[in-house]
Structure 1
Amino acid sequence: MSVVAFPGQPGSVPDPATGMTTMVAVERFLDSLATVTTRVGYAETLARLTAVAGPAHPVDDLTPEHYAAVMDRWKTAAAATWNRHLSALCSFTTWAQRQDILATNPARRLERRKPARRGDRSIPRTRLETLFTDIGHALRERLLWRFLYDTAARAEEVLTLNVEDLDLEFRRARVVSKGGAIEYVHWATPTARLLPRLLTGRTTGPVFLADRRAPASGPRTPAAADIDPTTGRGRLSYPRAEYLFKTASAKLDPHRQGWTLHQLRHSALQHLAQAGRTTPELQAKSRHQHLASLGRYVRLGEETSARVTAEADPIQRRRPR
């Protein structure tokens, strides 16, 4: 869909002394975010807002129509994707209102979507192994998918990793969690075998690189930390990584829709639970702050309930075998 621009009214170019453009406001908002993963996630949505409204459009003149045009790009997306982009707009709006540069709420007509309830969202191990070992897929993709499954980490955490964050000897990586805390994720032998092949001697820069060199100038120029100093290639983005995984997995998905990167995390936890790992062990692996959060990932079903009940039955335990 082509970008829809909403030109400002005559005389609406902001006064440098009092007004602020949308582009400047977006840049300042992103700079105010302490968590890298949040900043990266919001950047895509707000880049769309800047394109729709126009970089020089006064931020105080943003309207519900601008926001609706931004969200139109994701109107057919899953509820989680829609809600993620809407959260970015709402957070920007709240910040702008606190800065007294936006008087209204352009997001007031937009509503969060309720995700459809699903059963088991885990991916069967055999199909995952087919994906991980298919040399028809690029090394970068196979390593990323295996890395996410081995570590049960969030995709945002892994995509923001730099080579300096890796501890190859102890098979772990330092990540910034959702709350901003520094934590460690651990991988197994399959990931350990692939990592050196991807790095090929690199000691700095993003672990997972984009296919092309990053723009050297202009509004889309990434931060220096997001560029490999040797090749000039930028960091692989979440949307691109998600697209590649969905495309590659579509032929193995019975619904032919492809799977999401988040399902690799879910699958890892589900498979560990099925292997008999305890809830505290799963919490250590997933790094959830609250045990209750694991309920959305680990549901072992009626068969497990029946087995646990039978094993705890005192009458059954006393019966001779």
Structure 2
Amino acid sequence: MSDAHSVDAAVEAYLASPQCANENTHRAYSSVLDRLAGWLGGHRPLTEVGEEELLSAITGLWGSAAAATWNRNRAAVAGWLAWCRARGQQAPELSVERRSGEREPTATLSRDAIERLILRPDVPLRERTLWRLLFETAARANDVLALNIETLDLRGRRAGALRWDAGSAHLLPRLIEGRSRGPVFLSERRPPPARRPSRSDLCPYTGRARLGYDRARILLDQHTRTPDGEPGWDLHQLRRAALMYRTA
């Protein structure tokens, strides 16, 4: 069991507080803080975590993310730490700044590059299906990650307003085989009891949680990062490419 003053215990207490009572807030903050606790070491006393180590963790986890993602995750961490300090716990200050939304223009991904990525034999089925859906539907990543199996019309190749093509139609049945309801895209492992999301975000067959945006972003970056360490693609690039090719 976590020590009362451990990083894990502080995260669990914050997620159970009124500040995180909203389901969407709880889901988003849980994803961010769970990853941070995993990086820092959840069993450690929170008092051992210094500002420099916290900065290193934040940068390592989200340093290559888009400004909006960086700012959103920074706010989640800052809110958690402020809550801890307000309750008399010794917690480090978060000394990183918000980022402006301006970024250097990013080249549009080519069709060939996207196809090569999706067809790579080392890419798992879950990731290939997600990326194929993002490219074929031109939908926002959050909308695709929010899909439930019971909303899919596999024969009609649609789910609500989202419509896909043959590539996704081939992959989706394989991904959801043996499941008839619950999230389409699942995390790798079951969440610990103290951090279980709402029932709507749990698979009733495996107990695994819905795949979150931050984890999906990291997976795409990992598979597209260059050998010399240059950041890989982000999820929005797939949507931007899809939108461009639709209007070409």
Name the TM-score, length of structure 1 as normaliser: 0.58
Q: Is the 8 A contact 1:249 1:258 kept in 2?
A: yes
Tell me if the contact between 1:30 and 1:43 (Cα under 8 Å) persists in the aligned partners: no
* Aligned counterpart for 2:22 among listed residues 33, 48, 63: 33
The Cα offsets for residues 91-119 of structure 1, whole Å up to 9 and x where unpaired, read as: 6689x6xxx979xxx87854202356322
Query: Which residue of 2 is the match for residue 314 of structure 1?
Result: none
Q: Which runs of 5+ in 1 are unaligned?
A: 9-20, 175-183, 276-321
Amino acid in structure 1 at the alignment position of 2:108: S
**Where does 1:1-321 land on structure 2 (aligned, <5 Å)?**
23-29=12-18, 31-35=20-24, 38-47=25-34, 70-76=54-60, 77-78=63-64, 80=67, 81-89=69-77, 110-114=96-100, 117-174=103-160, 184-212=161-189, 214-215=190-191, 217-250=192-225, 256-273=230-247, 275=248
SS in 1 for 2:17: helix
**Which of 1 and 2 has higher RCO (CA within 8 Å, sep 6+)?**
2
Residues 246 and 260 of structure 1 are in contact (CA less than 8 Å); yes or no, is this contact kept in structure 2?
A: yes
Amino acid aligned to 2:231: Q
- The change in CA–CA distance for 1:147 and 1:222 in structure 2 (over 3 A counts) is same
More helix by share: 2
Find the aligned partners of 1:43 and 1:115 in 2 and give their Cα distance: 24
Structure 2 residues not aligned, in runs of 5+: none
Match of 1:307 in 2: none
Amino acid at match of 2:238: L
* Percent identity between the two aligned chains: 37
Distance 1:67 1:48, change over 3 A: farther
Distance 1:231 1:201 in 2: 11
Task: Tell me the SS of whatever aligns to 2:188.
Answer: strand
Deviation at 1:194, TM superposition (A): 1.5
- Equivalent position amino acid for 2:58 in 1: W
SS at match of 1:86: helix
Q: C-alpha separation between the residues in 2 aligned to 1:199 and 1:53?
A: 33
> Size of the alignment, in residue pairs?
237
- Look up the equivalent residue of 2:126 and give its one-letter code: R
Amino acid paired to 2:156:
F
Residue 315 of structure 1: aligned partner: none
Give the TM-score, by structure 2 length: 0.72
Q: Tell me how far apart the structure 2 counterparts of residues 162 and 173 of structure 1 sit (CA, whole Å).
A: 9
- Contact 1:26/1:46 (<8 A) preserved: no
What is the SS of the residue equivalent to 1:234?
coil
- The structure richer in strand per residue is 1
